[in-house]
């Protein structure tokens, strides 16, 4: 009896020791999964797995952080992880991180260097918003998605978006000098801030690295649009988009800071659609905005045969033109230097009505076109 009782007590004690050991082991492994250490201005995130919200540095700690180093094995950081780190200057990621989350580095105004993961797929909205000192960044080829406002209010002036990155939110960045991006991207109304940015991007010059989906141009504001030399459908001349054979004008850049005062339609062009000059108005869905706010003169070469009054089917807003004429706000007189003899009086009236809807006095003579008593510069009519 005594032996049996001792045996039972020994078994019970062994079981209790195993339970304690398991509990201790589990708590240590859980707490040691990812560690966040701040020392001498350097915040190091190490371990395996995800950094949690509870591990986000406090507001006081954030004021001391100058550098963030995320070690290999860490797979994710939480939203707002390093928001408002006022002294932060550099950040580096391992390839194990696939997403830069929403507002992760929001208002890190002294941030100048970011080394992104080589296997990054997504940059969420406002991830680097108001990082005012960030002037350059290299996006990895693995990137597939950039959400709204990701680089808005930074100092980035030149940006290359890789060909694999097809999903772009609105207003992903501020005003650029040059932008290279795939022509077949898809505008995505994604992220909490997407409604704040009605067009996707502004750049003095835009270069398309893949075949262009022409409807995408509606979301861009640029002075020069250069399609890929291998594009199957389009070509560019002086930043203006034409059909591949250059016989049809397709898109005149809308401009942002780089406006065209004069447009010389290329020799060989035969058809000029009025839709080539139109863009959706920013900030509202139903209006349109002529690009000719500062366009003073358009030269039509001798090869032009037709003014196409119909809209391209890709154009989103068709309300601007109906049987009653154009409904856009007047933009003022634009001079037409017409070197062709193949345009009809209706073509000339359509041009005038498009660029100056208030004007309705148009006459065609054997050697000139008069609009409201003013010559529009026809040559060799």
239-272: per-residue pLDDT in tens? 999 999 999 999 998 876 566 788 999 999 999 9
C-beta neighbour count of 379 within 10 angstroms: 14
Q: Say if 286 falls within a structural domain.
A: yes
When mean pLDDT is compared over 181-195, 223-237, 327-341, the highest value belongs to 223-237
- Domain membership of residue 163 (yes or no) is no
Examine the pLDDT at 200 and tell me if it is beyond 60.
yes
Report residue 92: phi and psi, to 5°: -135, 140
Of 274, 286, 295, the closest CA to residue 350 belongs to: 274
Q: Tell whether 72 is covered by a domain.
A: no
Cα 274 to Cα 249: distance, rounded to the nearest angstrom:
9
**Backbone dihedral angles phi then psi of residue 55, each to the nearest 5 degrees:** -95, 0
pLDDT at 348 > cutoff 60: yes
| pLDDT one-digit tens code per residue, 310-319 | 754 444 433 3
Q: What is the DSSP letter of 114?
A: E
Residue ranges making up the domain that contains 339: 259-381
If pLDDT is split at 50, 70 and 90, which confidence band does 78 have? Answer: very high
- Least confident segment among 23-32, 57-66, 91-100: 23-32
Does pLDDT of 33 surpass 50?
A: yes
Asked whether residue 106 is assigned to any structural domain, the reply reads no
Tally the domains of the chain. 1
Chain centre to alpha carbon of residue 370: 43
| Cα–Cα dist 146/184, whole Å | 15
Q: What is the model's pLDDT at position 333? A: 62
* pLDDT > 60? residue 11: no
pTM of the model: 0.79
pLDDT attached to residue 213: 95
> Token digits for 306?
């037709």
Q: Is residue 380 part of a domain?
A: yes
Angle, CA 107 vertex, CA 182 and CA 72 arms, to 5°: 70
With beta carbons less than 8 A apart as the criterion, state whether 285 and 319 touch.
no
Locate 350 and state its tokens. Answer: 């359509």
Pairwise CA distance, residues 171 & 156, whole Å: 13
Residue 271 lies in a domain: yes
Those residues whose C-beta lies under 8 Å from the C-beta of residue 249, and which sit 6 or more positions away, are 240, 241, 242, 265, 269, 271, 272, 273, 276
Please, are residues 172 and 148 in contact by the beta-carbon 8 Å criterion? yes
Looking at residue 202, its pLDDT comes to: 85
Q: Tokens 């054979």 — which residue?
A: 245
Residue 176 belongs to a domain: no
Q: Is the pLDDT of residue 191 over 80?
A: no
Residue 299 φ then ψ, to 5°: -105, 125
Q: Report pLDDT for 26.
A: 30
**Residue-wise over 122-139: b if at least 16 C-beta within 10 A, else e?**
bbbbbbbbbbbebeebeb
The yes-or-no verdict on residue 378 having pLDDT over 50 is no
Is 68 within 8 Å of 38 (Cβ atoms)? no
């Amino acid at each position: 009896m005594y032996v049996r009782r001792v045996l039972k007590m020994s078994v019970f004690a062994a079981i209790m020791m195993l339970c304690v050991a398991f509990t201790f082991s589990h708590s240590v492994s859980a707490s040691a999964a990812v560690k966040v250490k701040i020392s001498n201005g350097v915040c190091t995130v190490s371990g395996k797995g995800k950094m949690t919200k509870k591990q986000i540095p406090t507001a006081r700690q954030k004021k001391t952080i100058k550098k963030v180093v995320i070690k290999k094995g860490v797979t994710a950081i939480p939203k707002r992880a390093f928001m408002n780190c006022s002294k932060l200057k550099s950040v580096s990621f391992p390839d194990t991180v696939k997403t830069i989350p929403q507002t992760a580095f929001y208002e890190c105004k002294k941030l100048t260097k970011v080394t992104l993961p080589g296997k990054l797929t997504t940059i969420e909205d406002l991830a680097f918003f108001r990082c005012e000192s960030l002037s350059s960044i290299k996006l990895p080829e693995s990137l597939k998605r950039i959400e709204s406002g990701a680089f808005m209010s930074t100092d980035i002036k030149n940006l290359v978006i890789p060909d694999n990155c097809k999903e772009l939110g609105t207003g992903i960045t501020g005003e650029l000098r040059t932008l290279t991006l795939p022509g077949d991207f898809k505008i995505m109304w994604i992220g909490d801030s997407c409604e704040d940015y009605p067009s996707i991007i502004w750049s003095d010059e835009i270069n398309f690295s893949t075949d262009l989906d022409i409807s995408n141009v509606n979301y861009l504001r640029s002075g020069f649009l250069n399609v890929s030399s291998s594009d199957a459908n389009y070509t560019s001349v002086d930043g203006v988009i034409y059909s591949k054979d250059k016989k049809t004008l397709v898109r005149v850049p809308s401009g942002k800071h780089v406006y065209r005062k004069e447009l010389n339609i290329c020799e060989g062009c035969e058809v000029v659609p009025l839709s080539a000059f139109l863009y959706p108005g920013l900030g509202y869905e139903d209006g349109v905005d002529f690009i000719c706010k500062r366009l003073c003169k358009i030269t039509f070469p001798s090869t032009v045969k037709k003014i196409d009054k119909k809209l391209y089917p890709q154009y989103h807003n068709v309300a601007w033109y109906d049987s009653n004429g154009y409904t856009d706000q007047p933009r003022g007189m634009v001079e037409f230097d017409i070197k062709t003899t193949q345009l009809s009086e209706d073509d000339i009236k359509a041009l005038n009505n498009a660029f100056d809807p208030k004007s309705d006095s148009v006459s065609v003579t054997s050697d000139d076109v008069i609009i409201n008593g003013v010559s529009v510069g026809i040559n060799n009519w």
